[in-house]
A and B are shown apart, each in its own frame.
Chain A
Amino acid sequence: MLSTATTPVPATEATTVTTVTVPTTEATTVTTVTVPTTEATTVTTPATAAPTVTTAAPAPATSAAPLVPESGMAASQAAVQVLHGVPGAEVDVYVNGKALTTGFNTGEIAGPVTLTPGSYDVALFAADARAPESSSDRTDEPIVEQNVAVGADPATLVAHLNDQGQPTLTAFKEDLAPVAPGQSRVVLRNLMADGPVDASVNGSIVGSIGAGQEVSAVVPAGTAKVEFVGDDGKVLTTANVTVGDGELASLSAIGAPASSTAQIVIERFTGLSTAPAGVPTGDSGLLGLDDDQTGLKLVFGLMIVLALSGGVVAFRRQRSSWS
């Protein structure tokens, strides 16, 4: 239902990390973390193809919501996670009127839950210690309530601020398509209360993405520096992320840069890996020329030795019988 632009980033193992000086303005939240590996100052250039950017499909306005999934439909069900990306709001989450999780905090993930494809009514209320199990028993108004379409693929449903600073819900399909051995995929989502940002990986801009949009890049397994850069060139939020072979890291920039609540949250998925294309382990032909003949020689040699020793024994026996 949504597609993502994939930009292969050059696959040198040494690919890391443009050290970028981050302006220390108040509005800039920097989620810099210790860099686990050695820092090479190699700057990688982006691949030639300009990525296209796709807006995640918003929830359709239909109200044809299949209710609780029937059992025995596992094949068509999708694993869906719910990510809380609205800053400073502890919420209770209801799906089709039933509480999914309560006391859900910014930067937390709930799930996965298995959902039959269809449209779901999702509502977020301010957290209530006595949150009723059914949203119809609530007397307060939801912070946000939307119909959200869920497909057959793994997906993340994110509650976040739109570019007007209002809470909204967006479903993102997770791209688990295989990557080459030694590679990984990073997906960058702009879920901040801000306009378009440049999403960059290892110093290369992968795409310019508006609020609610995503781009992805295939990068060598290892540590990648991820940055969301505002239109004035200011780094809004950044992180160094270590992504393993065959892993997907979905990185959502959430919060509001204007109020210093921008941060990156991460989801990890595995199962994208492919095996090496081959195991080239010989170039000289010694095995064919040398080893087989050696083996044959050994066999012949053994036969000769056996024959000789047998002869000697026989000879000795003769000698002893003579004596």
Chain B
Amino acid sequence: MNRPVAHGAIVLAISLATVGSIVTAQSTRASGTTGGSGRSTLGSEAYAPAAPGAGVPVRSATIESDQAAAAARVIQQPTRIQVGAISLEAEVIPVGVDAKSQFDVPAATTVGWYRYGAAPGQPGASVLAAHVDYGGARGAFYDLSKLEAGDRVEVEMDDGATLQFTVTGVYEIQKHELPAEELFRKDGTPVLNLITCGGTFNPEKHSYNANVVVTAEPADAVSAQGLTA
């Protein structure tokens, strides 16, 4: 394993020669032998025209290194939500989907965080959903549609941090037109989507024909770019 790495180090040494630091190249070689990532590869530009000059990355695919990488990823989870403008304060629990592949919205006054999506504040969409009403009583998100752009949403995380979000939009969307892939997107700029029901109630189906969607973005990002909603 050492020899080809040394080859890479020679390339490095040449490129670093202008800086005059062979010592740096040597230490790079030393670190390259442990991880296998900082290694230089040859001829890769011929196969990757989109990124000329980029080396072919090499990494370990063993179960052990995969597990180590997974263990290094710590995901904070939301535990509470507070929205002063509508006097909302509720517990948040992680949920998945039900047997119909629908959002497994928790009962009554608890808010569900879609645990297959992003955590609040992380890249992608973090989705919190709660009932507007449940079993004849008001649900946690009963007043969600009364929110307005600029209102503040606070989310407490399980590490004790409180994340601040600013409402950027309030929408009522027919359920059959709900842009679910966008509302639940896995990457992109961080957004917090709060979802409940709205529109017209169908007593026979015991359900509403629309969803109310409130979008919110990290407060510092909104104040930096201005409210555009």
Contact = CB atoms under 8 A, between A and B. Distances in A.
Interface in B70-120: 70-71, 96-97, 100-103, 105, 114, 116
Contacts of B36: 105, 108
B159 interface: no
A33 interface: yes
Interface string B25-56: 00000000000100101111011111000001
A277 B100 contact: yes
Contacts of A276: 97, 101-103, 114, 180, 184
A278 interface: yes
A233 interface: no
Interface stretch (B16-24, B147-155, B190-198, B214-222): B190-198
A74 B51 CA distance: 12
B197 A281 contact: yes
Contacts of B66: 241, 266, 268
Contact of B47 (A68, A129, A242, A279): A68
Given A127-B4, A275-B184, A242 B49 contact: no
Contacts of B227: none
B134 interface: yes
A182 B5 CA distance: 42
A277 B97 CA distance: 9
B206 A283 contact: yes
B56 A110 contact: yes
A101 B41 contact: yes
A113 B44 contact: yes
A287 interface: yes
Nearest to A245: B116
Given A276-B97, A286-B133, A131 B4 contact: yes
Q: Mostly helix, strand, loop or mixed at chain B's interface? A: mixed
A284 B134 contact: yes
Interface in B58-73: 58-64, 66-67, 70-71
Given A129-B4, A246-B186, A284-B135, A279 B61 contact: no
A285 B201 contact: yes
Contacts, number: 232
Contacts of A69: 47, 49
B103 A278 contact: yes
B3 A128 contact: yes
A288 B201 contact: yes
Nearest to A264: B63
B102 A101 contact: no
A245 B104 CA distance: 15
Contacts of A108: 36, 58-61
Given A276-B184, A279-B178, A103 B7 contact: yes
> Which range holds the interface residue count of chain B?
35 or more
Given A101-B41, A280-B207, A282-B197, A266 B100 contact: no
Given A111-B56, A289-B201, A31 B63 contact: yes
Interface stretch (A52-60, A92-100, A164-172, A308-316): A92-100
A245 B56 CA distance: 28
B129 A279 contact: yes
B6 A129 contact: yes
A221 interface: yes
Contacts of A107: 60-62
A279 B41 contact: no
A284 B7 CA distance: 71
A221 B116 CA distance: 9
A33 B61 contact: no
Contacts of B64: 31, 33
A50 B64 CA distance: 32
Given A101-B41, A273-B186, A281 B3 contact: no
Given A110-B56, A182-B97, A284-B135, A103 B3 contact: yes
A117 interface: no
B136 interface: yes
13 contacts: A34-B67, A71-B49, A101-B42, A102-B4, A108-B58, A109-B60, A270-B186, A276-B180, A277-B102, A278-B103, A278-B180, A284-B201, A284-B206
For the complex of A and B, the 4 pairs showing the least CB-CB separation, nearest first, are A103-B4, A129-B3, A282-B197, A245-B116
Interface of B: 1, 3-8, 36, 39, 41-44, 46-50, 56-64, 66-67, 70-71, 96-97, 100-103, 105, 114, 116, 129-139, 141-142, 175, 178, 180-181, 183-184, 186, 195-198, 200-201, 203, 206-208, 211
Given A102-B4, A282-B201, 7 more contacts: A101-B44, A103-B7, A239-B63, A270-B186, A279-B178, A281-B141, A282-B132
